[in-house]
Amino acid sequence: MIKEIVFTGPDTKTLRGGNFLRVISSSADVDIEFKNNNTRLDEKAEGVVEGDYFDFTQASREGDRYFDHVTITSAAAQTVVIHITDGKSGSARLSGSVSVAGASGLQSAADVSIAATSTQQVIAQNLSRKKLHLANLSNSVSLRWGDAATTAARGGLLHPGMVVEIENTAAVYVYNPDAAPVDVAIVEET
């Protein structure tokens, strides 16, 4: 049974029992007492909030209910949704919304020629960038890519013909170890 309980202010409500209780939703905490034959079974559960649950399925004998009724007390005006069953059950649903923001555009830049034995900025910082695709257009020279400190011994390797996908908004630099200029191709996703 899923029961929606409306509290218009401080109040106590009584529901039928079972072996399992979950607070599906609440905007403030509640106190819960489990009773059997009008006797409280355990200490009162205080400060119970959305998502909390009580599982007595192992404590009860098959076919019996651990608690025959439950009282729920709220100090605040709110709507509380409670799930009570004789056996353990529930839902893995989550409430809320999810937004997936992918790239909304492509920006192809002109090929950049990296001068011989030098490190050069190939694209400036772009805070709107989601990804950058950097391609080595050489068929024989391996390059290095990274920040302004990229050198022959620093930075990621970019082998001949290789394309690297960079998820970063920073400026990107390329080091060319060769005695001749080498071109790279760049596409930005924003």
Q: What is the CATH number of the domain that holds 32?
A: 2.60.120
Last residue of a domain, one of 52, 85, 118: 85
19-60 confidence digits (pLDDT tens): 888 898 899 999 999 988 888 877 789 999 988 988 887 776
* Residue 188 in this model has a pLDDT that exceeds 80: yes
Residue 136, phi then psi, degrees to nearest 5: -85, 115
Average pLDDT of the segment spanning 157-174: 93
Residues 78 and 147 in one domain: no
171-to-51, 122, 132 alpha-carbon distances in Å: 45, 8, 10
161-to-75, 134, 143, 175 alpha-carbon distances in Å: 68, 10, 10, 16
Residues 133 and 73 in one domain: no
* Residue 104 in this model has a pLDDT that exceeds 80: no
* Residue 121 in this model has a pLDDT that exceeds 90: yes
In 3D space, the residue among 64, 59, 62, 61 whose CA is nearest the CA of residue 42 turns out to be 59
80-99 confidence digits (pLDDT tens): 999 888 876 655 555 555 55
Residues 72 and 38 in one domain: yes
Q: Which residues contact 70 (CB under 8 A, 6 or more apart)?
A: 14, 15, 16, 17, 21, 32, 33, 34, 35, 84
Residues 110 and 76 in one domain: no
Answer whether residue 71 is part of any domain: yes
Answer whether residue 101 is part of any domain: no
Answer whether residue 72 is part of any domain: yes
| Residue 49 tokens, joined | 């909030």
Answer whether residue 93 is part of any domain: no
| Residue 150 tokens, joined | 């990229």
- The per-residue pLDDT for 87 is 74
Q: What is the CATH number of the domain that holds 163?
A: 2.60.120.770
Whether 5 contacts 82, CB under 8 Å: yes
* Residue 123 in this model has a pLDDT that exceeds 80: yes
Last residue of a domain, one of 28, 55, 85: 85
- The per-residue pLDDT for 3 is 85
- The per-residue pLDDT for 99 is 59
Answer whether residue 100 is part of any domain: no
How many independent structural domains does the chain possess? 2
Residues 23 and 69 in one domain: yes
- The per-residue pLDDT for 48 is 93
- The per-residue pLDDT for 95 is 56
In 3D space, the residue among 34, 28, 36, 35 whose CA is nearest the CA of residue 10 turns out to be 28
121: containing domain: 106-189
Average pLDDT, the chain: 87
Last residue of a domain, one of 85, 115, 145: 85
Between 98 and 189, name the one with better pLDDT.
189
The DSSP H or E segment spanning 72 is: strand 67-74
**DSSP secondary structure, 96-131, as one string:** S---------EEEEEEEEEPTTEEEEEE---TT-SE
Answer whether residue 172 is part of any domain: yes
* Residue 119 in this model has a pLDDT that exceeds 80: yes
Answer whether residue 126 is part of any domain: yes
Residues 58 and 12 in one domain: yes
* Residue 61 in this model has a pLDDT that exceeds 70: no
- The per-residue pLDDT for 1 is 76
